[in-house]
C-alpha cells in the first residue's frame, strides 16, 4: 500500500489514477453488485489514493493529480450503465477536486480516452442481456467497440498526453483523446438533449450507424 511506497520514496509529486474496470449492461439488467464493483475500483479506489498524496502536496504547495476517466464520462454510452455511472462520478470528483486544491498549487487534469489499445476490452466482453429486450442496444454497443478496436489509439499516445498534462505551462482541465474522443465530445455539443434521446429510439441499425456518423464523424458500421 501507500505506507510501503512512502518508505521507499521521500515524496510523491505526481499521482496518476489509472486503475479501472469496465461494466456492461443496461440499467434494468445490472445487479447492485455490478455498480458497487465499478464504483469501488473506478471512483473510491482513486479517492483513496488521492487522499494519501494530498497532505504532502498541500504542504509543499505543488503537485499533479492526473485522473483517467473516459469519454463515456462525458457522453453516456449504450448498455454500459455501471461503467458510465462510475466514470460520470469520477468526472465530478475530479472537477470538484481541481477547485479544492487550486489554492495550494496542485494541478488536476482529467484524461478522457475514447478507444485505446488496452487489456480492458478482453476482460469486458460479456453483457447480462437477461430479458432479451435490449438486444439492439447491446449489438450497437459491441459494434461501436469492434470499430474502435480496429482503429484503436496506441496506449503510448495517451501516455504522452499524460506527460504533457503534467508538464505543460498552459494546463487545461480536460483532455479528450484517442479514437472517437474529441469527435464524440464535439458532436454531442451540437445535439439537443431531445435529439440525443431520440438517437436511442432509431430502429434500423443502418439508420442508426448513418446518424451516428453524421453527428460524430465516426463510422461504426460493418462496411
**pLDDT digit string (tens) for 65-92?**
999 999 999 999 999 999 999 999 999 9
Digit-coded pLDDT (tens) for 166-194:
999 999 999 999 999 999 999 999 999 99
Q: Is the pTM of this model over 0.85?
A: yes
Is 63:165 a contact under the CB 8 Å cutoff?
Answer: no
Catalytic residue among 35, 83, 134, 208: 83
Which residues of the chain, if any, have pLDDT below 50?
none
State the pLDDT at residue 45: 97
Evaluate whether 50 touches 100 at the Cβ level (below 8 Å): no
Share of the chain above pLDDT 70, in %: 96
Long-range contact set of residues 30-33: C-beta below 8 Å, sequence gap at least 24: 30/81, 30/82, 30/128
**Residues whose CB is less than 8 angstroms from the CB of residue 131 and which lie 6 or more positions away in sequence, other chains included:** 28, 29
Q: Give the domains, in start order, of the chain with CATH numbers.
A: 2-216 (3.40.50.720)
Q: Which three cell numbers stand for residue 37?
A: 464493483
Asked about 138 being catalytic, the answer comes back as no
Alpha helix segments (H runs only) across 19-80: 32-39, 45-60
Amino acid at each position: 500500500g501507500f505506507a510501503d511506497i512512502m518508505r521507499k520514496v521521500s515524496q510523491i509529486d505526481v499521482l496518476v489514477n489509472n486503475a479501472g474496470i469496465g461494466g456492461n449492461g443496461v440499467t434494468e439488467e445490472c445487479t447492485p453488485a455490478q455498480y458497487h464493483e465499478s464504483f469501488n475500483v473506478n471512483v473510491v479506489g482513486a479517492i483513496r489514493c488521492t487522499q494519501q498524496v494530498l497532505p504532502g502536496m498541500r504542504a509543499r504547495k505543488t503537485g499533479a493529480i492526473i485522473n483517467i476517466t473516459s469519454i463515456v464520462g462525458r457522453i453516456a454510452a449504450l448498455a454500459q450503465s455501471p461503467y458510465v455511472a462510475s466514470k460520470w462520478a469520477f468526472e465530478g470528483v475530479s472537477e470538484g477536486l481541481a477547485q479544492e486544491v487550486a489554492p495550494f498549487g496542485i494541478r488536476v487534469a482529467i484524461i478522457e480516452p475514447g478507444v485505446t489499445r488496452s487489456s480492458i476490452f478482453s476482460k469486458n466482453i460479456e453483457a447480462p442481456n437477461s430479458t432479451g429486450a435490449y438486444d439492439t442496444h447491446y449489438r450497437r454497443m459491441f459494434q461501436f467497440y469492434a470499430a474502435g478496436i480496429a482503429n484503436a489509439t496506441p496506449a503510448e499516445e495517451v501516455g504522452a498526453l499524460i506527460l504533457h498534462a503534467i508538464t505543460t505551462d498552459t494546463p487545461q482541465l480536460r483532455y479528450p483523446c484517442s479514437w472517437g474522443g474529441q469527435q464524440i465530445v464535439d458532436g454531442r455539443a451540437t445535439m439537443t438533449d431531445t435529439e440525443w434521446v431520440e438517437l436511442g429510439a432509431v430502429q434500423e441499425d443502418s439508420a442508426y450507424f448513418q446518424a451516428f456518423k453524421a453527428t460524430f464523424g465516426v463510422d461504426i458500421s460493418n462496411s
